[in-house]
């Protein structure tokens, strides 16, 4: 067994916090499940829940097999090439790293690598879960299952490495700032969802959508109303997610002393998103739209994720308030573009993820000691833009490849199946028509 | 940037515990939301949830703008007058205090003040949430929104200062004991709710209530039955609140070594409240009344809040058992007085809050090292009574002022509105008649 | 007051972790309540919830009065005989032990005993809650209330002592390995449920069951379908339980440095259980059975409980995968044997509890420093078998005695009652016929 370093109490404390924060982030799976089952139609409820539950199981296995090595293994600024098939390097109870993970000693000095594995794992799982929201109520179970595996095994760890690995090219060349993942986690999840949503089309009946009509006549003028399953679940989901975000942002702190400031900005941005979205639209209609408040809060939380340690409390409130404008505009835009996003995952995670990453450039007025240079405003904003474009573009390409491959396999499997079974009317698609 | 003190590992540990405990308390918002949506009628569910969600957002902003300064800023034993508009003093990542918060160095030595802000914030938010329970299903959204802001910005921090600021007049003159807020949080929330409930009247149909009838004929003999939305949500809410209480009481410990005793008394008092309320009423009816067990547990938890560090385990059980008697009697009394409290917030938070604060005087048999004098039983009971009366009286006065001002503004706004729109039949009241 | 030892920061950290882990385990009560209300019929929902809520309250009192002393008091390897009526030894805020709990200084050096009380209490409560799942929807409220008290006061602490007390005969003679209670907690709960379920019979209508028919004709060929109340609650319950398991297994760590490995094996086994149960049965039917995935995950978690600190990550995945086979086979077997287990508690907790305990013998490849001898595979497997048989046998005997005594008392009470009231048609049984 490898040699065990002497661990200080301060390092033990850090270990404990990573465990607690990781547990809170893990619990976000319950938040997403409740949010999505609450905002979807009751008849698709079981399907939505099953996807939410299995996606995290799949993510764990995918990250263990391949993802963690690609993201934190040794290699260049683009890709890791050691530590794949994690089990080969499994030295239980060991402290310190080695065996293909030199970077972790820099990022998490003297931490047992299992705690890093756990903490990074729950981030990866969150990314995959976001996708399920945008594609809810219509994506085929096994297609989504496979996509989640690919996303967490390959796409997420590669783009994540660019930012969070000490040698990542976005970090070393541009000092791209994304503290806890407005882009690395939320934009990536939201963008993968957007690509999938466009490929798969809306739910049957949404804005009168009829996938069997000829092109150009698929939307009619009598939109069917899609009710909510149960807003109690959605509200619970929102509050569980908010709780989890305290671990999400707080757990990313390098030092215990930074946590309180991070928690405070996170609380304020969430509250600001909720209150301003209500003031912006609620005052007009005199009726509080609960689903809007929920997404306003979540948008504020996504926005502050990139910068919670770098900005002042006042800036956190501004960031949250601006995100509420984004939410309203983007929801309107998606409706115009006939893109069906049942739970509002794209405005919240992609829209506010981009905004939050830009905001880190706009408002960062302090950098923790470990980033040893002053922020030059215009350069930092440029760096943020580079990072946003690079990661989103990569996610689009990865998602297209994954969905097309999965679609091809489904087409082939169903063709083979039909050859023997002579059943017709199969869909040959990623979407589960019967669901809706 | 201000100078940063050297932080010991023991202080870091305290910081971490305040973050974790604060997170558990934050999660109580989900508990209250689930409890209230579960115990209300399904048709008002969305309205109840929206209030529960927005009230915490509003509280965060109100406490940031004004409340924290009033409560912990420098000043006299009645009122703080520095640190208002918190953002002016925003030194991120800083340790130690100063800049208007001398008291915090005494209460939380060497803690980053952001952690105190967060921890105190979630207490303030709890107070406001309690009000929503008593007034559920009928208070106007914007009236409640405004009241919550005033309560957290002004009333709660002022009465809270009297007890929890080192120079608070109830502490310095009387040694009033309220460990984690049976009075400071729960009574204040319950009393504000009681005042509001009396002003606004019952839900239409409750005990046959008809607000349009002439006075004296508003209640008829055929009471309409108000069913529950879903007791699964209410049970979940109860357990989330119990979980949060471990942070609520445990987080108030001055030292890590005190936490286990606090947790143990909290567990026992909650269990005792649940079991005794069942034995008292359940044995007679042979049917377990789930909503009663829920309120029995919550009553036990409210009762032990004032004294969880001061009393023995056996005393905790007695305190919980007595609170269950209170719950039953007060629910009956409110019904007699025609006061409609849909979720039982007044017996639980006001009734057991008062009892718990008295019980701290009756049962305190030990005081942590930082209170350096013996308890003299009769004097302490007298001190407790003084504190209970002072804080509840102040809360009544504050609540009346806030509700009347808000009512006046609504009246004026609606009059102006009607002048132009010539719509009639507006209610000019704090209550949302259409809700019910 | 006893002398107070100087506590190191490392010990404070341990105290804090026990509080946090205990809180997560406490929250498992919400998980069980949601799981059971979700998987039962809507019309019995309130009854199921009331049992879940009160069972924990009862457990707290039972463990306080008798259980903790029997389990950790001084005595021999079979039974404790000091520390009964815990309140007699109540030294609040005290560190160190004594007064009848010599063992705790070995197990939890320098920890305040209240934290041990809390941490052990939530384990005891879990055991009792498991029983409610297997007997859901038909056991009489007061019968279950009484059984829970007996289980936590007497049966659980005695069998638990055999393993977790430093002098327990299974530990000292056989080195039986059960890290966090696959057998001590889960098998015991599952076995007590199985005994109760057999005694009480199925729900009326399950597989056409008619308790009023003559023996041999009680099941007919037209099974009535028992739907689920709401799978959203069940999914939430599963995720809350998974969260709690991080405290369940992680909290049992002797050292902070062991926690991350424990968390990682726990995550992987749960994920493996969920994915493999889906692959095994889901691939055939093309439809994801959500309730199956839920039980697959829970089975994986139960299985890894005995060995999470002793096995590699790869072994954790195998343990979880095998548990999914068990779940499927045992659910089928129970159906064949006409044993009605509404939520699948017996396959999950009893079945996977036994498997997990065996697996600890099969896969343990490392033992923490405090177990100072190498694992000899065949001996260890034999030891595991001894422990499994001894504890399950004892649980069967205890359960039979408790249920028969409770049944006798109910019979007597109802006979007396009937003598005076002359009502007929009373059931004289443990089961609540009207429920179904």
Chain C: residue whose CA lies nearest to A5? C257
Name the band, by pLDDT with cuts 50, 70 and 90, for residue B372.
Answer: very low
- Cβ-defined contact of C264 to A114 (cutoff 8 Å): yes
Find residues 78-107 of chain B whose CB sits inside 8 Å of chain A.
86-87, 90, 92-93, 95
Between CA A235 and CA A39 the distance in angstroms is 10
CA angle A387, A388, A394 (to 5 degrees): 90
Report the residue from A13, A275, A309 with minimal CB separation from B13. A13
Task: Among B27-36, B272-281, C279-288, name the most confident range.
Answer: B27-36
Residue C285: left if φ>0, alpha if ψ -120 to 50, beta else—which one? Answer: alpha
Q: What is the average per-residue pLDDT within A336-360?
A: 95
Residue A422: left if φ>0, alpha if ψ -120 to 50, beta else—which one? Answer: left
Chain C: residue whose CA lies nearest to A229? C232
The closest alpha carbon to C31, from C227, C351, C270, belongs to C270
- Cβ-defined contact of C30 to B240 (cutoff 8 Å): yes
Shortest Cα distance from B283 to chain C (angstroms)?
9
Chain A: residue whose CA lies nearest to B92? A261
Between CA B245 and CA B266 the distance in angstroms is 8
Looking at per-residue pLDDT, the higher value among C287 and C350 belongs to C350
Task: Spell out a b/e string for B371-385, using b for 16 or more CB atoms within 10 Å of the CB, else e.
Answer: eeeebeeeebbebbb
Does any CB of chain B come closer than 8 Å to the CB of residue A179?
no
Q: What is the average per-residue pLDDT within B147-154?
A: 96
Tell me, what's the pLDDT at B375? 65
Between CA C358 and CA C364 the distance in angstroms is 10
- pLDDT tens sequence across C19-76: 999 999 999 999 999 999 999 988 888 889 999 999 999 999 999 999 999 999 889 9
Helices (H) and strands (E) in chain C, counts: 17, 0
Scan for tokens 């089952």, then name that residue: A37
Per-domain residue ranges for chain A? 9-218+228-405
Looking at per-residue pLDDT, the higher value among B259 and A419 belongs to B259
Tell me, what's the pLDDT at B435? 53
Tell me, what's the pLDDT at B374? 59
Tell me, what's the pLDDT at A222? 63
Q: What is the average per-residue pLDDT within A117-132?
A: 95
Tell me, what's the pLDDT at B368? 58
Chain B: residue whose CA lies nearest to C65? B314
Q: Report the CATH superfamily, name and number, of domain A9-218+228-405.
A: Ammonium transporter AmtB like domains (1.10.3430.10)
Tell me, what's the pLDDT at A221? 64
Does any CB of chain C come closer than 8 Å to the CB of residue A12?
yes
Q: Is the pLDDT of residue C266 over 70?
A: yes
Find residues 360-379 of chain C whose CB sits inside 8 Å of chain A.
366, 368
- Cβ-defined contact of C50 to B290 (cutoff 8 Å): yes
Between CA B20 and CA A260 the distance in angstroms is 11
Give the Å distances, CA to CA, from A212 to A140, A334, C381.
18, 22, 61
Q: Is the pLDDT of residue C425 over 90?
A: no
Quote the mean pLDDT of chain B: 87
Q: Is the pLDDT of residue A96 over 50?
A: no
Q: Is the pLDDT of residue A67 over 70?
A: yes
Chain B: residue whose CA lies nearest to C12? B256
**Which residue of C229, C247, C271, C316 to mutate against A (max A Cβ within 10 Å)?**
C271
The closest alpha carbon to B189, from B197, B179, B177, belongs to B197
Chain B positions touching A257 (Cβ under 8 A) are 7, 12, 15, 93, 95, 112
- pLDDT tens sequence across C131-175: 999 998 888 888 999 999 999 999 999 999 999 999 999 999 999
Tell me, what's the pLDDT at B431? 75
For the beta carbon of residue A227, count every other beta carbon within 10 angstroms.
8
- Cβ-defined contact of A15 to C264 (cutoff 8 Å): no
Does any CB of chain B come closer than 8 Å to the CB of residue C47?
yes
Q: Is the Cβ–Cβ distance between A150 and A182 less than 8 Å?
A: no
Question: Of all residues in chain C, what percent carry a pLDDT higher than 90?
Answer: 63
Q: Is the Cβ–Cβ distance between C297 and C273 less than 8 Å?
A: yes
Q: Is the pLDDT of residue A432 over 90?
A: no
Does any CB of chain B come closer than 8 Å to the CB of residue C37?
yes
Between CA B180 and CA B251 the distance in angstroms is 9
Identify the DSSP state of C215.
Answer: T
Token representation of residue C151: 């289980």
Question: Of all residues in chain B, what percent carry a pLDDT higher than 70?
Answer: 87
Looking at per-residue pLDDT, the higher value among C398 and A81 belongs to C398
- pLDDT tens sequence across A400-415: 999 999 999 988 887 7
Q: Alpha-carbon Rg of chain C, whole angstroms?
A: 22
- Cβ-defined contact of A12 to C257 (cutoff 8 Å): yes
The closest alpha carbon to B39, from B236, B278, B244, B188, belongs to B236
Chain B positions touching A250 (Cβ under 8 A) are 19
Report the residue from C18, C57, C95 with minimal CB separation from B271. C57
Question: Of all residues in chain B, what percent carry a pLDDT higher than 90?
Answer: 62
Chain B positions touching A312 (Cβ under 8 A) are 87, 90, 92
Task: Spell out a b/e string for A356-381, using b for 16 or more CB atoms within 10 Å of the CB, else e.
Answer: bbbbbbbbbebbbeeeeeebeeeebb
Name the band, by pLDDT with cuts 50, 70 and 90, for residue B254.
Answer: confident
3-state secondary structure of B225: coil
Q: Is the Cβ–Cβ distance between A60 and A129 less than 8 Å?
A: no
Q: Is the pLDDT of residue B369 over 60?
A: no
Q: Is the Cβ–Cβ distance between B229 and B277 less than 8 Å?
A: no
Q: What is the ipTM of this complex?
A: 0.94
Q: Is the Cβ–Cβ distance between B148 and B62 less than 8 Å?
A: yes
Q: Which subunits have 3 or more CB–CB pairs within 8 Å of chain C?
A: A, B
The closest alpha carbon to B247, from B198, B301, B303, B202, belongs to B301
At A222, phi and psi to the nearest 5?
Answer: -105, 85
Between CA A420 and CA B195 the distance in angstroms is 74
Does any CB of chain A come closer than 8 Å to the CB of residue B397?
no
Lowest mean pLDDT among B277-281, B393-397, C246-250, C288-292: C288-292
Between CA C354 and CA C189 the distance in angstroms is 12
Quote the mean pLDDT of chain C: 87
Does any CB of chain A come closer than 8 Å to the CB of residue B53?
yes
- Cβ-defined contact of A257 to B26 (cutoff 8 Å): no
**Which residue of C92, C237, C435 to mutate against B (max B Cβ within 10 Å)?**
C92
Identify the DSSP state of C202.
Answer: P
Name the band, by pLDDT with cuts 50, 70 and 90, for residue C242.
Answer: very high
Q: What is the average per-residue pLDDT within A35-55?
A: 91
Q: What is the average per-residue pLDDT within A25-39?
A: 96
Chain C: residue whose CA lies nearest to A24? C243
Shortest Cα distance from A248 to chain C (angstroms)?
15
Tell me, what's the pLDDT at C254? 87
Between CA A70 and CA A84 the distance in angstroms is 7
The sign one gets for the Cα dihedral B421, B425, B426, B428 is: positive
Tell me, what's the pLDDT at A34? 97
Between CA B339 and CA B343 the distance in angstroms is 12
Q: Is the pLDDT of residue B355 over 90?
A: yes
For domain C9-78+85-405, give its CATH number from 1.10.3430.10, 3.40.710.10, 2.40.170.20, 1.10.260.40.
Answer: 1.10.3430.10
Report the residue from C260, C287, C288 with minimal CB separation from A115. C260
Name the band, by pLDDT with cuts 50, 70 and 90, for residue B307.
Answer: very high
As a dihedral over the C-alpha atoms of residue B381, residue B387, residue B389, residue B395, rounded to 10 degrees, the angle is -150
**Which residue of A57, A58, A435 to mutate against C (max C Cβ within 10 Å)?**
A57
Q: What is the average per-residue pLDDT within A290-313?
A: 94
Q: What is the average per-residue pLDDT within B373-381?
A: 77
Name the band, by pLDDT with cuts 50, 70 and 90, for residue A394.
Answer: very high
Q: Is the pLDDT of residue A86 over 80?
A: no
- pLDDT tens sequence across A205-251: 888 888 888 877 788 766 666 778 899 999 999 999 999 999 999 99
The closest alpha carbon to C430, from C213, C200, C129, C206, belongs to C200
Looking at per-residue pLDDT, the higher value among B370 and C71 belongs to C71
Chain C positions touching B20 (Cβ under 8 A) are 20
Between CA C116 and CA C101 the distance in angstroms is 11
Chain A positions touching B95 (Cβ under 8 A) are 257
- pLDDT tens sequence across A256-295: 988 999 999 999 999 999 999 999 886 666 566 899 999 9
Tell me, what's the pLDDT at A92? 42
Tell me, what's the pLDDT at B88? 44
Largest CA distance in chain A: 70
Shortest Cα distance from C52 to chain B (angstroms)?
9
Q: Residue C314 burial by CB count (10 A; 0-12/13-18/19+): exposed, middle or buried? A: middle
Q: Alpha-carbon Rg of chain A, whole angstroms?
A: 22
Residue B9: which residues within 8 A CB-CB, separation 6 or more? A9, A10, A13, C9
Shortest Cα distance from C373 to chain B (angstroms)?
34
The sign one gets for the Cα dihedral A45, A47, A48, A50 is: positive
Q: What is the average per-residue pLDDT within A357-363?
A: 94
- Cβ-defined contact of A24 to B23 (cutoff 8 Å): yes
Does any CB of chain B come closer than 8 Å to the CB of residue C233?
yes
Q: What is the DSSP string of B145-202?
A: HHHHHHIIIIIHHHHHHHHHSTT-HHHHHH----SS-IIIIIIHHHHHHHHHHHHH-P
Tell me, what's the pLDDT at B282? 65
**CATH architecture of the domain with residue range B9-405:** Orthogonal Bundle (1.10)
Tell me, what's the pLDDT at C36? 95
Looking at per-residue pLDDT, the higher value among A421 and A351 belongs to A351
């Amino acid at each position: 067994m490898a040699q065990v370093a002497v661990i200080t109490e301060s390092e033990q404390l850090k270990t404990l916090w990573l465990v607690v924060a990781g547990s809170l982030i893990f619990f976000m799976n319950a938040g997403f499940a409740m949010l999505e089952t609450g905002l979807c139609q009751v008849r698709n409820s079981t399907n939505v829940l099953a996807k939410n539950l299995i996606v995290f199981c799949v993510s764990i296995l995918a990250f263990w097999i391949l993802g963690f090595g690609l993201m934190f293994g040794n290699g260049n600024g683009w890709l890791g090439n050691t530590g794949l098939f994690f089990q080969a390097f499994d030295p239980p109870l060991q402290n310190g790293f080695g065996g293909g993970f030199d970077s972790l000693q820099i990022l998490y000095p003297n931490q047992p690598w299992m705690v890093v594995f756990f903490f990074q794992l729950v981030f990866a799982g969150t990314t995959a879960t976001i996708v399920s929201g945008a594609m809810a109520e219509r994506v085929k179970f096994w297609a989504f299952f496979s996509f989640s595996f690919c996303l967490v095994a390959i796409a997420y760890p590669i783009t994540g490495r660019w930012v969070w690995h000490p040698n990542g090219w976005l970090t070393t060349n541009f000092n791209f700032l994304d503290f806890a993942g407005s882009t690395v986690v939320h934009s990536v999840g939201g963008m993968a969802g957007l690509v999938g949503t466009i490929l798969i089309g809306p739910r049957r009946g949404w804005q009168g959508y009829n996938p069997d009509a000829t092109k150009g006549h698929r939307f009619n003028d009598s939109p069917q109303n899609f009710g909510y399953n149960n807003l109690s679940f959605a509200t619970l989901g929102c509050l569980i997610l908010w709780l989890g975000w305290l671990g999400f942002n707080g757990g990313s702190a390098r030092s215990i002393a930074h946590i309180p400031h991070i928690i405070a900005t996170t609380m304020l941005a969430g509250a600001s998103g909720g209150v301003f979205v209500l003031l912006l639209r609620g005052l007009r209609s005199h009726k509080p739209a609960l689903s809007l408040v929920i997404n306003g809060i979540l948008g504020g939380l996504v926005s502050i994720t990139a910068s919670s340690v770098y900005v002042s409390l006042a800036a956190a409130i501004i960031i949250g308030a601006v995100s509420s404008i984004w939410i309203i505009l983007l929801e309107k835009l998606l409706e115009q573009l006939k893109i069906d996003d049942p739970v509002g995952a794209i405005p919240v995670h992609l829209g506010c993820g981009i905004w939050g990453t830009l905001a880190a450039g706009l408002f960062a007025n302090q950098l923790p000691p470990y980033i040893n240079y002053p922020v030059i405003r215009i350069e930092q904003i440029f760096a943020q833009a580079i990072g946003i474009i690079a990661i989103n573009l990569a996610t689009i390409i990865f998602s297209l490849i994954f969905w097309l491959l999965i679609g091809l396999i489904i087409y082939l499997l169903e063709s083979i199946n039909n050859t023997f079974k002579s059943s017709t009317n199969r869909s040959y698609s990623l979407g589960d028509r019967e669901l809706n």
